[in-house]
């Protein structure tokens, strides 16, 4: 049977794959596993519940709250709030665990359920597996003791906002009046992110995607649709644009010329700044296998070690925790400051990036160019194939070996199944764009021809 949990929680089409019944029983299973320590200590477990504004989050949130309460857990419902805020509030309120209902950058019809352990940490695979085992047990089996209560987490957003502002230098205003455009993806950051940047001293000259209606999350806006933000930065003569995704755990930036500054470039800028200030633990950056070869070369020149993990900010965080390191992230814009957060936080990342701009007086374009050179990278998503067969296919392995031999040390090849979508990602980096594109297209063709086609959904 396929594993229920993917790269980032349980995802699917709301009300078809991710039903109220599944949400209820998943919450009950989570209550048993994550609340066990509290119950063994003779107290009722407590959980923080958050969601993004997509409309299905309403019925899924009700189902999760019911499942937790019926499992003997007191629920503090924070309502619509970013994923990193839920993680922060678990730690800040000393809750036993947390649940976030969101499908991140996915379109509105999708949704997901992810758990945070005590301290706001993402769950290791073994704990997710334990929840899946518990999910197979008899449904609605009673837990000894009183059922839980459900209450509003009244000051959730205020507590999170104060935390964000506390991460900035004490000089006021920390962001020095930087003119910016902000894109909230019609998502969970639509309220708190504009407030955070304004309170920190930036001037938000245009606000995009800050009017969620439950259906428009990530729809042509946000960190995966940057065209509108690029145009707005140029039109407003702004110094920077910042974009989040639907649950605000990502940050992508636009420089004053309208150029995209992705997660790798943001990490390079911030890692170099931390290194220069003696605030980069272990002089090490942790990134995933998707990060650009240019990031590796830039860190090598600066004397910063780079460690790679599997794709997913949870794996970056695991390495940070395991090795006592402090900073890392993903090309997609998940950036983790372990000193301040237990997950990727798009608002925190944007604040820290603007703080470097304010402190150095340099435009973002200069900071990015000084930090790293980006190797041309082509990414092709191959849909309609059985991604589970990728690892064992000999034809694909041979094609990858041929590409790697041709590219040598001037490029890189990565094929992997998506952890959140039914597709295979084909990524090629090379010293020039034409070479990267040609090899990516060749490999994508091999994947299409070699892997079995998926059965159409009825």
Q: What are phi and psi of 340, to 5 degrees?
A: -115, -20
Rounded to 5 degrees, φ, ψ at 171 are -60, 135
Instruction: Characterize the bridge pairing of strands 179-183 and 412-417.
Output: unpaired
- For tokens 């900071």, name the residue: 367
Q: Are 323 and 330 in contact (CB under 8 A)?
A: no
Binding residues for Mg(2+), by number, are 104, 245, 247, 249
Burial environment of residue 118 by CB neighbours within 10 A (0 to 12, 13 to 18, 19 or more): middle
**CA distance linking residue 263 with residue 334, whole number of Å:** 7
- Per the structure block, which two tokens stand in for 247? 């649950």
Q: What angle do CA 280, 159, 239 make, to 5 degrees?
A: 55
Annotated binding site: 104, 245, 247, 249
The one-character DSSP state at 435 is H
Determine the Cα angle at 116 with ends 110 and 118, to 5°. Answer: 170
The verdict on whether 223 is a catalytic residue reads no
> CB-based burial of residue 324 (10 Å sphere; 0-12 exposed, 13-18 middle, 19+ buried)?
exposed
In terms of Cα–Cα distance, which of 17, 51, 28 is closest to 132? Answer: 28
**Dihedral of the alpha carbons of 297, 299, 302, 307, in degrees to the nearest 10:** -130
The residue from 104, 190, 223, 355 that is catalytic is: 104
Q: Which residues participate in catalysis according to the annotation? A: 104
């Amino acid at each position: 049977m396929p594993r229920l949990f993917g790269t980032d929680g349980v995802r699917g089409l709301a009300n078809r794959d991710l039903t109220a019944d599944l949400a209820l029983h998943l919450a009950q299973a989570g209550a048993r596993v994550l609340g066990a320590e509290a119950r063994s200590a003779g107290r009722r477990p407590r959980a923080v519940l958050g969601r993004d504004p997509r409309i299905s989050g309403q019925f899924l949130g009700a189902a999760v709250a019911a499942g937790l309460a019926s499992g003997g857990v007191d629920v503090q419902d924070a309502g619509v709030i970013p994923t990193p805020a839920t993680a922060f509030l678990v730690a800040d309120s000393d809750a036993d665990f947390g649940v976030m209902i969101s499908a991140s950058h996915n379109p509105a019809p999708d949704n997901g359920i992810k758990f945070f352990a005590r301290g706001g940490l993402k769950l290791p695979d073994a704990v997710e597996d334990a929840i899946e085992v518990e999910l197979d047990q008899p449904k609605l089996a009673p837990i000894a003791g009183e059922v839980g209560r459900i209450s509003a987490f009244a000051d959730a957003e205020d507590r999170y906002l104060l935390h964000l502002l506390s991460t900035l230098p004490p000089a006021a205003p920390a962001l020095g009046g930087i003119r910016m455009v902000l894109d909230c993806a019609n998502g969970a950051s639509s309220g708190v992110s504009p407030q955070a940047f304004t309170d920190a001293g930036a001037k938000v000259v245009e606000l995009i995607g800050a009017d969620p209606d439950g259906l428009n999350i990530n729809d042509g806006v946000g960190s995966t649709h940057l065209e509108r933000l690029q145009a707005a930065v140029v039109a407003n003569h702004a110094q920077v644009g910042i974009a989040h995704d639907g649950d605000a755990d990502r940050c992508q930036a636009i420089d004053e010329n309208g150029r995209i500054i992705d997660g790798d470039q943001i990490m390079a800028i911030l890692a170099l700044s931390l290194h220069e200030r003696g605030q980069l633990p272990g002089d090490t950056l942790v990134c995933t296998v998707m990060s650009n070869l240019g990031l590796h070369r830039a860190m090598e020149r600066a004397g910063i070690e780079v460690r790679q993990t599997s794709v997913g900010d949870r794996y970056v965080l695991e390495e940070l925790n395991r090795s006592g390191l402090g900073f890392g992230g993903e090309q997609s814009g998940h950036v983790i400051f372990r000193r301040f957060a237990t997950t990727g936080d798009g608002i925190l990342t944007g604040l820290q990036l603007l703080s470097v701009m304010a402190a150095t007086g340099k435009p973002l374009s200069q900071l990015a160019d000084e930090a790293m050179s980006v190797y041309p990278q082509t990414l092709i998503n191959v849909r309609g194939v059985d991604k589970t067969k990728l690892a064992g296919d000999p034809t694909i392995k041979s094609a990858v070996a041929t590409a790697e031999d041709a590219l040598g040390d001037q490029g890189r090849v990565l094929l992997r199944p998506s952890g959140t979508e039914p597709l295979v990602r084909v990524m090629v980096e090379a010293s020039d764009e034409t070479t990267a594109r040609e090899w990516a297209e060749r490999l994508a063709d091999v994947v299409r021809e070699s892997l079995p086609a998926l059965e159409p959904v009825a």
